[in-house]
Structure 1
Amino acid sequence: MDMTGEERIAASRDAVWRGLNDPDILKRCIPGCQSLERTSPNELAAAVKIKIGPVSASFAGNVVLSNLNPPESYTISGEGKGGIAGFAKGGADVTLIADGSETVLRYDVKAEIGGKLAQLGSRLVDSTAKKLAQQFFADFGAAVGNGTETAGGSNP
């Protein structure tokens, strides 16, 4: 699965960069994230519970930040195992472009899934991935925004 896009965030590039590197902000914004802890300067351990169609799965895995070019870009990659539901692994190249008082966040995601999740069909998996990405960016924009963001949805 490949997914590319961009999101306009009502915050400075430095504020967006700090948010993308703050485990507490990311934990609040990643749909289904149950824990996210820094294990080294460039690594995090994560636990996420999601539902894709009829399959609910809890994934535990590691996330690695590489190709760091603060505050412009980085690569985030990870792999999670969901037991009988399968696995997910992939990465994203993230670029931040300052645009006045806002920031344009561009992403290029490549991901792979296996197990029961892969049997659900690419249409369902792709639409769920897009929905989860939209929720993440809405919540992230609200978390780091200048108060002008009108993001929908939130993680309690």
Structure 2
Amino acid sequence: MPRKIIWKYIKDEKVLGNAIPSCRSFVQTSTGLYQAEIEIILGPLKDGFAIEVKLEKEKIPSYFHLTLKGKGNLGEVNSEAELFLSDHQGSTQLSIQAEANVTGTLSGAAERVLNGGANKGIEKFFQSLEKEMKKNLYLLRKGRKV
């Protein structure tokens, strides 16, 4: 998929909300700032989290910095990521450098899960994101409102 299309949809609140696993709500509150409610399930632990997602330092259409801050009954999560989009053999390559800090009851369970499943979670998110983008493009081509 071309970089300019990915750039457009990677910041679309409807697309992002549908791509985030267990997302109850996802709303853009101002330019580059989103509020979300998600449900986190780690084995027997289940909790709702209020999340703030901030996209900044954009270099259209190739780079942005993302911060995520969330809080639930089981703890807090703070993370930062840099996302790089580049052209690669007729498609777009996405590279991510991320760091997360998890505190509270969640930290012990999350440490075990993240050590074995963080890459799978990120992979699942971007697979869902790609599916949402393709669905929106299909609807646009058919003349339907997205």
Letter of the structure 2 residue corresponding to residue 125 of structure 1: L
Rg larger for: 2
Letter of the structure 1 residue corresponding to residue 108 of structure 2: Q
Letter of the structure 1 residue corresponding to residue 26 of structure 2: L
2:106 aligned residue (117, 128, 135): 117
Cα offset for 1:141? 1.8
- Aligned alpha-carbon RMSD (Å): 1.8
Cα offset for 1:100? 4.0
Partner of 1:42: 32
Partner of 1:141: 130
TM-score (norm 2): 0.85
- SS of the residue corresponding to residue 21 of structure 1 reads coil
User: Is the aligned partner of 1:51 residue 2:41?
Assistant: yes
Q: Could you tell me how far apart the structure 2 residues matched to 1:97 and 1:109 are?
A: 18
Q: Could you tell me how far apart the structure 1 residues matched to 2:39 and 2:23 are?
A: 6
Q: Percent identity?
A: 26
Cα offset for 1:32? 1.0
User: Could you give the per-residue CA deviations for residues 81-117 of structure 1, whole angstroms, max 9, x where no partner exists?
Assistant: 012x111110110000012431000001110101111
Distance 1:121-1:143 versus aligned 2 partners, 3 A rule: closer
Letter of the structure 1 residue corresponding to residue 58 of structure 2: L
Letter of the structure 2 residue corresponding to residue 43 of structure 1: L
Q: Could you tell me how far apart the structure 2 residues matched to 1:100 and 1:94 are?
A: 19
CA contact (8 A) 2:102 2:110 kept: no
**How do residues 74-113 of structure 1 correspond to structure 2 at under 5 angstroms?**
74-83=64-73, 85-113=74-102
Q: Could you tell me how far apart the structure 2 residues matched to 1:117 and 1:128 are?
A: 15
User: How many aligned positions are there?
Assistant: 136
List runs of 5+ in structure 1 lacking aligned partners: 1-10, 148-156
2:21 aligned residue (31, 39, 53): 31
Cα offset for 1:131? 2.5
- After TM superposition, the structure 1 stretch with the greater mean CA deviation from structure 2, 69-78 or 47-56, is 47-56
Letter of the structure 2 residue corresponding to residue 91 of structure 1: E
* Higher fraction of helix: 2
